Amino acid sequence: MSQIAGQGRNNRPAGSQGPMNIAEVTKTKDTRKSSPVDRLLALVAADMQATDLIIHDRLGSTVSLIPDLAKHLVESGGKRLRPLLTLAAARAGGYQGDKHICLAAAVEFIHTATLLHDDVVDASTLRRGKIAANVVWGNKPSVLVGDFLFSRAFQLMVEGGDLSVLDILAGASAIIAEGEVMQLKSANNLATTEDDYLQVVTAKTAALFAAAAQSGAMIARTGAAVIEGFRVYGKKLGIAFQLVDDALDYSGRQAQMGKSVGDDFREAKVTLPVVLAYARADAEARRFWQRTIADGAQNDSDLKQAIALVEETGAIEETRARAARYADEACEALSVLPDSEIRRELIALAEFCVDRGY
């Protein structure tokens, strides 16, 4: 399974074929040592396996470049966080059917399509530690394979058979595109406010997290309050997740560990660490940000200086504190659910997203 899923580090019980019941879950004691992502994956292991099978099946095309390019990204060890939310929400609602599998696959396809197009838009060279598809195959196939995956996502939603779920996911896709355009406009713009930034993050990242969780609850017909609870959970989790991502991109510790940092800086994106650091900057630091972000005139030593400035001004700490607040709000939104293993792990997931160092 680990090969199929590209999730080798997940500690799922071997040989599980159908949905697990609570008795089976409590048997997997050693999963407690792993992250909440791994434990949630274990709770919906069979569903995620079925989702992965659908994902690989629907990447297929007689035009071989399409699966070649799509698999490069799909098999690159993404965390499958978004489909995980769909599966967990459906499971939490006691859903017994199989439509959540198509929806989870559709959610991952939308995410993959946006990554392909993002990498073209950002002219990225790396994605998940691998050379980005746009570098290997060029921008043209990346744009077109993104379109193919979008279309496949909607075909999968049709199989899901629920028009109101389709509406939620189509709406989220439109909002993601709006968020990406907003982000383009805020690049190089030091007048970007924290509110502007939050609007971008809510649209480009949180909208799909929200729709992923909400649609799982909808397919389980859990009632309006629980559906709304999952929507808010997903949205707040998504904001927290992106805030931490943006903090990590200026992390000196990450850089020391050999991990990629500075992508946002090089692209002159005005993320929250920069908004906060710029607001607290002295005259010399302001000139630094104006040159490197507003004018985009950077040299090799600037990233180190940028990291020092965001750390000195407490901008990283404060970005993480903001993320923690959103994570708290995410957990709060799940108070509509009765206590369960899934609910506990979803709460742990929100905390984990804030504390993670990668």
Nearest-angstrom CA–CA distance, 81 and 72: 18
Nearest-angstrom CA–CA distance, 294 and 281: 15
Residue closest to 87 by CA, chosen among 128, 40, 124, 131:
40
- In the block, tokens 């995956």 appear at 149
Task: With residue 152 as reference, give the H or E element that holds it.
Answer: helix 139-160
- In the block, tokens 């993480």 appear at 320
DSSP state of 335: G
CB of 250 to a second copy, least distance (A): 23
CB of 156 to a second copy, least distance (A): 9
CB of 296 to a second copy, least distance (A): 15
Beta strands of the chain (E only): which ranges? 126-127, 130-131
CB of 66 to a second copy, least distance (A): 6
| Site residues, a second copy (CB under 8 A) | 61-63, 65-66, 113-114, 117, 120-121, 139-141, 143-148, 150-152, 154-155, 158, 161, 163, 166-167, 170-171, 173-174, 176-178, 180-182, 184-185
Max Cα–Cα distance, the chain, nearest Å: 63
**Which residues have CB under 8 Å from 25's CB, separation 6+?**
42, 43, 341
**CB-nearer residue toward a second copy: 138 or 314:** 138
Q: What is the dihedral of CA 164, 169, 175, 181, to 10 degrees?
A: -150
Nearest-angstrom CA–CA distance, 42 and 310: 38
CB of 193 to a second copy, least distance (A): 16
**CB-nearer residue toward a second copy: 26 or 151:** 151
**CB-nearer residue toward a second copy: 167 or 295:** 167
Nearest-angstrom CA–CA distance, 143 and 141: 5
**CB-nearer residue toward a second copy: 166 or 294:** 166
**CB-nearer residue toward a second copy: 175 or 248:** 175
Token pair recorded at residue 149? 């995956």
C-alpha gyration radius of the chain: 20
CB of 267 to a second copy, least distance (A): 11
In sequence order, what DSSP letters do the residues of 225-247 get, joined into one string?
HHHHHHHHHHHHHHHHHHHHHHH
DSSP state of 29: G
**CB-nearer residue toward a second copy: 133 or 244:** 133
CB of 23 to a second copy, least distance (A): 38
**CB-nearer residue toward a second copy: 97 or 314:** 97
CB of 51 closer than 8 Å to CB of 87: yes
CB of 117 to a second copy, least distance (A): 5
**CB-nearer residue toward a second copy: 203 or 337:** 203
